Structure formats: C-alpha cells, structure tokens
Amino acid sequence: MKIIGESRDRFIIEATRDEASNLVGYCSRYNHGTQPLQVGDEIRVAAMFKQLYELREIDRRLSDARLQILRAAAALEQVVPVIPAKQVVPVIPAKEEAKP
C-alpha cells in the first residue's frame, strides 16, 4: 500500500486487490464471495480500529474478572471449618450398629 497523493485532510492511497481485501477482513481478493470490492466502495478503517480497541479493552477487563474469580475460588478452598472434623458426630449410625 502506498500513499500516492493528498487533498486537504485526506490521502490518496494505492493498494493491491489483496491489500484492500485484507483491510476489510478477507485473506485475499478471492474470499469475497458474491461482493468483491469495487471503485467507490468505502472502507471504514477508523471504525474497524475503534471496534478493535474496544474489544481489546473488553478482553483486558475480562482478564481482570477471571483473575478475581480465581482468587475468590482459592479463598473458598481455604475456608476454616467452625467445628473441627474430629468433633463432628454422625447423625446416622454406622451400618453395623443399625442392624438389630
């Protein structure tokens, strides 16, 4: 891709068909299916990158949330029992004691 000219606040860019296809999310010009790019098509690069930046921020927040969940799960595994296990008396008698 090459900048070949400019106007007031814009550039005129030369791109191969594959480069233009890459900009809109395809691997090559052959992956477009029924709607190949044509002269006059607008490629909203700024909007695409805005969405990518937002997705990156969402991913960062999800990573932070995953970390908090893992810490909470680890804390739950370390709960100290109120009654030590040796002092707990079973309510149901053992099988041998239940037989007459």
Nearest to 14 by CA among 24, 31, 6: 6
Confidence at 71, pLDDT banded by 50, 70, 90? confident
pLDDT (tens digit per residue) in 13-59? 999 988 888 888 887 777 766 678 888 988 888 898 899 899 999 99
| Residue 21, both tokens | 């296809």
pTM value? 0.48
For 67-93, letters b (16+ CB in 10 Å) and e give eeeeeeeeeeeeeeeeeeeeeeeeeee
